[in-house]
Amino acid sequence: MKQKDFVFNICLLLFLNLLVKPFWLLGVEVGVQNQVGAADYGLYFAIFNFTYVFYMLLDMGICNFNNRTIARNNQLLNRYLSSIIVLRLILCLIYFVVIYTVALIIGYRGIQLKLLFWIGFNQFLNATMLYLRSNVSALLMFKTDSFLSVLDRLLAILFCGMLLWGHLSDKPFRIEWFVYCQTAAYLLAIAVALFIVLKKSKLRRLAWNKKLSLLILKKSLPFALLTLLMAFYNRIDSVMIERLLPADIATTQAGIYASAFRLLDALVMIAYLFSVILLPLFSKMIKEKEDVQPIVRTAFSFLYVFAIGATVVLVCYREPILAWLYKDHVAASASVFAILIPCIIPIAFTYVFGTLLTANGSLKKLNITAMAGIIVNILINILLIPRFQARGAAVTSLCTQSVVSLLQFFIAIRELKVPLRSLPWLSCLLFTALIIPTTLLANHFLNLKVLPSLIILVAATLIYGLATRLIDIRGLRETITRKS
């Protein structure tokens, strides 16, 4: 692929995702929560995260395996497509058996089980969409894949938007409608993706190849286990809030936690998109025994500016931002938000050093760090949630992410022999010393509204990043050039 084509495709993917998905998170999801209330949305949020914990049972690393294999051998599309579709249906049955068994054990009943079915079904549809997209991208149809990556969200925005703001019904918006809108969007998007994939293949009938399926599962199992463990410690907090607290406050507290978590989720998406570039780049460099230090330094520096800048600004302006987004429980959400948003710092560094370890094939060590995260998460949540409610879960999340990030940092430094002195510690200290007083000054002494203040502080963050040379445009250009 030509460099200019690669850059165009990456920019298109980033542009579409940064245009559509933040609007989904901060527009539609916020609108739904404001309509149905913190309690109903908290119930949805807890069940969604419960289903997400077991999401890897739907995929088992198949998407990554399929993408890599089909990209190398396009002629295998027809053979793999048939077997994997049947395998995914079997995995779907296993997934539902597992989530309903665990749900009944932990006490889900009535409306909880009803929502569990539809949300679990949506997880299956999402996994199916990702699998179909893995075939499209493997065939180097990157522009098509970019549009497919946002199609389901665009349709869901359309359906939810009509119900939220289109006055199609006189009845109050219900949380079930939100789930059904996503189901309809996924089904339509899958129909489009399936048409494209079937057009490129010669599939005539479904046939399960047992040996092939077992081979795929065997090769993808270490990645599947890592993803499962990470999903557990990343998403279990709201489930434990809803299960550990008394019934009269549990869903409301889960809703308050969701209010604070939503912006963190949006920030994590940006860091994740950065890691999409890093993984294949690190993999290639390690295979060819190239020095990864310059790329590690560049990635670390960019994400340091992003994570520290976002944390300082959002924590300082937490109350006006949340008041702008939500109608209820603003003060309670702000107290949770102040603790939860700093999680972006360890998470961002995980996307550098965790990705480096993944590229190096250090999956056993990554799984150990994930297990440590689960143990820390469960123990601290059990101690703090009954006493501090959603704030306790936020403290737990910050502790968990910090422990995992530090473990991955030191393991990566040792495994890949990256000297600590190669990282720009002095520039990081100087940047922090500049952005904190600037933000405090803007917040307390400039008589500006929130939006102009945020624009000024974003500009200041970029200027300070350039001045301290943490934002290295030449380094980023070399990163893109090397990957292409």
186-240 tens-digit pLDDT = 999 999 998 888 887 766 666 667 777 777 777 777 777 877 888 888 888 988 9
**Confidence (pLDDT) at 283:** 74
Handedness of CA 331, 332, 333, 335 (dihedral sign): positive
pLDDT digits (tens, 9 = 90+) for 43-102: 999 999 999 888 888 888 777 667 666 766 776 676 677 778 888 889 999 999 999 999
Q: Using 50, 70 and 90 to split pLDDT, how confident is the model at 415?
A: confident
Q: Is 425 exposed, middle or buried (0-12, 13-18, 19+ CB in 10 A)?
A: exposed
Distance of CA 133 to the CA centre of its chain: 17
- Lowest mean pLDDT: which of 107-121, 403-417, 438-452? 438-452
Q: Report the pLDDT value the prediction gives residue 377, as an integer from 0 to 100.
A: 94
Interatomic CA distance for residues 51 and 37, integer angstroms: 21
Q: Which one has a higher pLDDT value, 383 or 329?
A: 383
Q: What is the pTM of this model?
A: 0.80
For residue 464, pLDDT over 60 is answered with yes
pLDDT for 290 equals: 82
Amino acid at 202: K
Let me know the angle formed at the C-alpha of 395 by 393 and 400, rounded to the nearest 5 degrees: 90
Q: Regarding predicted confidence, which is higher, 465 or 473?
A: 465
User: Are residues 371 and 294 in contact, defined by beta-carbon separation less than 8 angstroms?
Assistant: no
The pLDDT confidence band at residue 416, using thresholds 50, 70 and 90, is confident
CA distance 299 to 480: 12
Give the pLDDT mean for 343-354: 93
- Nearest CA to 151 out of 135, 132, 164 is that of 132
413 vs 233: CA distance, rounded Å: 23
Which residue would you say has higher pLDDT here, 474 or 390? 390
Residue with the bigger pLDDT between 450 and 155: it is 155
Cα–Cα distances (Å) from 404 to 43, 140, 228, in that order, read 28, 35, 15
Return d(Cα 464, Cα 163) in angstroms, integer.
Answer: 44
Q: Is the separation of the CB atoms in 125 and 183 below 8 Å?
A: yes
Q: Sorting pLDDT into bands at 50, 70 and 90, what band is 340?
A: very high
Which stretch of 85-94, 289-298, 381-390 has the lowest confidence by average pLDDT? Answer: 289-298
Stretch among 320-324, 444-448, 471-475 having the lowest mean pLDDT: 471-475
pLDDT at residue 232 in the model: 84
How confident is the model at residue 478, as a pLDDT?
59
Which is higher by pLDDT, 136 or 124?
124
Predicted pLDDT of residue 116 = 95
Which helix (H) or strand (E) element contains residue 161?
A: helix 142-165
- Which residue type, as a one-letter code, is found at position 311? T
Angle at 250 between CA 244 and CA 253, to 5 degrees: 115
Cα gap 132→125, rounded to integer Å: 11
State the Cα–Cα distance between residues 170 and 173, nearest whole angstrom. 9
Q: Which amino acid is at 95?
A: Y
